[in-house]
Chains A and B, each alone.
Chain A
Amino acid sequence: MKKVKKVTIKGTVKGKRVPSRLLEEEIQEAVEKGARHLHIIANGQHGIGGRIWPRGETIKITVEGPVGQRLGSMGMPGTEILIKGSVSDDVGWINCGAKITVLGDVTNGAHNAAAQGRLYVQGGGGARCDTMTKHNPKHDPPESWYFRDVGDTFAEFKAGGVAVVCGVNPRNPENILGYRPCVGMVSGVIYFRGPIKGYSEADVRLLELSDQDWQWLTANMKPYLKAIDRSEFYEELTRSMDDWKKLVPYTAQERAKRRPFKMSIREFRTGIWEKGVGEGGIFAEYLTHPLTVLPYITTGADRRFRPVWNNMKYAPPCEYGCPSEIPTQKRARFIREGKLKEALELVLQYSPLPATVCGEICPNLCMESCTRTRLDKPVNIKELGRASIDLKAPEPRPDTGRKIAVIGGGPGGLSAAWHLRLEGHSVDLYEAEKKLGGKLEYCIPRGRLPQEILSRELKRIAEIGINIHTGVKVDRKKFNDIYRSHDAVVVACGAHKPRKLDVPGVRDMVSAYDFLRDINTGRLPDLKDKKVVIIGAGNVGMDVAAQAFHCGAKEVTAVDVQKPAAFGKELEIAESLGTKILWPRFTEKYVRKERRIYFTDGTSLEADLAVVAIGDMPSTDFLPPAVHTHKNGWIQADEAGFTSDAKIFAVGDVTSLGLVTHAIGQGKKAAKAVHAQLSGRSYYMPAPRPVVPYEKIKTAYYDLRKKGPFRPEAEAERCLSCAVCRDCHMCEAICYYGAISRNAFEDGSYEYVVDDESCIGCGFCAGICPCGIWEMVENI
Chain B
Amino acid sequence: MEPATRLDNNHELTLKDFPYIVRWRDDRCKRCGRCTAVCPMFAIEPAVIVQRVLRSEGSLPEPKAVRRVVTIIKQSTDIGKYCTGCATCSLVCPNDAIEPEYNPRHKFIFHKNKGGHPYRRGGRRNSPGLSTLDRLRFTRISMLTDPALDAGRHEFRIRTYLGRVLPAEELPLKVADGKLELDRKSGKFIPPVREIYPVMIGSMSIGALSPNMWEGLAMGVTYLNEVEGMPVVMCSGEGGMPRRLLKSRFIKYFIPQIASGYFGWDEIVRAIPEMIEDPCAIEIKYGQGAKPGDGGLLMAHKVLKLIAEIRGVPMGVDLPSPPTHQTKYSIEEAVAKMIQSMYMAWGFRVPVYPKISGSRTAKAVLNNLVRNPYAAALSIDGDDGGTGAAYNVSMDSMGHPIASNLRECYLDLVAQGKQNELPLIAAGGAGKRGNLAANAAALFMLGASAVSIGKYIMQAAAGCFGDEYNRCNVCNLGRCPRGITTQDPRLYRRLDPDVVAERVVEVFKSLDVELKKIFAPMGRSTELPIGMSDGISADDPAIAERLKISYVC
Query: Which residues on A are within 8 Å of B, measured CB to CB?
Result: 153, 156-157, 180, 183-184, 260-263, 265-266, 268-269, 272-273, 276-278, 281-289, 292-298, 302-305, 317, 320-321, 365, 368-374, 378, 691, 694, 698, 700-701, 703, 734, 736-737, 760-764, 766-768, 770, 779
Is B243 in contact with A365, judged by CB distance below 8 angstroms?
A: no
Q: Is B162 an interface residue (CB 8 A)?
A: no
Query: Which residues on B are within 8 Å of A, measured CB to CB?
Result: 1-6, 30-38, 45-50, 67, 69, 71, 88, 91-92, 152-153, 155, 211, 214-215, 218-219, 222-223, 226-228, 242-245, 248-250, 305-306, 309-310, 488-491, 493-499, 501-502, 505-506, 509
Interface centre among A180, A272, A293 (most CB of B within 10 A): A293
Complex contacts, B227 vs chain A, CB 8 Å: 262-263, 268, 272
Smallest Cβ-Cβ distance to B308: which chain A residue: A286
Complex contacts, A763 vs chain B, CB 8 Å: 33, 36-37, 45-46
Is A762 in contact with B249, judged by CB distance below 8 angstroms?
A: no
Is B69 in contact with A286, judged by CB distance below 8 angstroms?
A: no
A572 to B502, CA, bound (A): 78
CB contact under 8 A between A373 and B5, given known A268-B223, A268-B227, A701-B50: yes
A83 to B211, CA, bound (A): 71
Complex contacts, B306 vs chain A, CB 8 Å: 283, 286-287
Q: Which residue of A273, A691, A762 contacts B36 across the interface (Cβ within 8 Å)?
A: A762
Complex contacts, B493 vs chain A, CB 8 Å: 289, 292-294, 302
Complex contacts, B5 vs chain A, CB 8 Å: 368, 373-374
Complex contacts, B498 vs chain A, CB 8 Å: 265-266, 269
Is A365 in contact with B1, judged by CB distance below 8 angstroms?
A: yes
Chain A to chain B contacts (Cβ below 8 Å), 18 pairs = A184-B153, A265-B502, A265-B505, A266-B498, A282-B215, A285-B244, A286-B306, A294-B494, A320-B1, A368-B5, A369-B4, A373-B3, A736-B31, A760-B34, A762-B34, A764-B31, A767-B48, A779-B490
Smallest Cβ-Cβ distance to B479: which chain A residue: A304
Is A369 in contact with B92, judged by CB distance below 8 angstroms?
A: no
Complex contacts, A294 vs chain B, CB 8 Å: 490, 493-494
Is B153 in contact with A269, judged by CB distance below 8 angstroms?
A: no
Is A369 in contact with B3, judged by CB distance below 8 angstroms?
A: yes
Interface centre among B33, B211, B493, B499 (most CB of A within 10 A): B33
Smallest Cβ-Cβ distance to A297: which chain B residue: B34
Smallest Cβ-Cβ distance to A289: which chain B residue: B489
Least Cβ–Cβ distance between B186 and chain A, in angstroms: 37
Complex contacts, B218 vs chain A, CB 8 Å: 282
Is B37 in contact with A768, judged by CB distance below 8 angstroms?
A: no
A190 to B505, CA, bound (A): 34
A552 to B33, CA, bound (A): 70
A281 to B244, CA, bound (A): 8
CB contact under 8 A between A272 and B222, given known A285-B244, A288-B305, A373-B5: yes
Least Cβ–Cβ distance between B305 and chain A, in angstroms: 6
Complex contacts, A180 vs chain B, CB 8 Å: 155
Least Cβ–Cβ distance between B502 and chain A, in angstroms: 5
CB contact under 8 A between A293 and B48, given known A303-B490, A767-B71: no
Q: Which residue of A268, A296, A370, A768 contacts B48 across the interface (Cβ within 8 Å)?
A: A768
A296 to B71, CA, bound (A): 23
A293 to B5, CA, bound (A): 49
Is A273 in contact with B34, judged by CB distance below 8 angstroms?
A: no
Is B1 in contact with A760, judged by CB distance below 8 angstroms?
A: no
Least Cβ–Cβ distance between B246 and chain A, in angstroms: 9
A767 to B495, CA, bound (A): 29
Smallest Cβ-Cβ distance to B489: which chain A residue: A289
Least Cβ–Cβ distance between B312 and chain A, in angstroms: 12
Least Cβ–Cβ distance between B388 and chain A, in angstroms: 18
Is A762 in contact with B6, judged by CB distance below 8 angstroms?
A: no
A755 to B506, CA, bound (A): 43
A749 to B100, CA, bound (A): 44
CB contact under 8 A between A261 and B505, given known A282-B218, A767-B45, A768-B47: yes
Q: Which residue of A184, A694, A700 contacts B152 across the interface (Cβ within 8 Å)?
A: A184
Least Cβ–Cβ distance between A706 and chain B, in angstroms: 14
Is A296 in contact with B33, judged by CB distance below 8 angstroms?
A: no
Other contacts beyond A273-B250, A691-B1, A762-B36: 12, CB < 8 A: A183-B153, A269-B219, A272-B227, A287-B305, A289-B493, A374-B6, A734-B46, A760-B33, A760-B34, A763-B45, A767-B48, A768-B71
Is B211 in contact with A283, judged by CB distance below 8 angstroms?
A: yes
Complex contacts, B6 vs chain A, CB 8 Å: 374, 694
Complex contacts, A368 vs chain B, CB 8 Å: 3-5
Least Cβ–Cβ distance between B130 and chain A, in angstroms: 31
Smallest Cβ-Cβ distance to A290: which chain B residue: B493
Least Cβ–Cβ distance between A318 and chain B, in angstroms: 9
Is B505 in contact with A321, judged by CB distance below 8 angstroms?
A: no
A261 to B503, CA, bound (A): 11
Least Cβ–Cβ distance between A767 and chain B, in angstroms: 3
A270 to B133, CA, bound (A): 40
Complex contacts, A737 vs chain B, CB 8 Å: 32
Smallest Cβ-Cβ distance to B309: which chain A residue: A286
A262 to B92, CA, bound (A): 33
Complex contacts, A297 vs chain B, CB 8 Å: 34, 37-38, 92
A28 to B30, CA, bound (A): 83
Complex contacts, A701 vs chain B, CB 8 Å: 48, 50, 69
Interface centre among A156, A278, A303, A770 (most CB of B within 10 A): A278
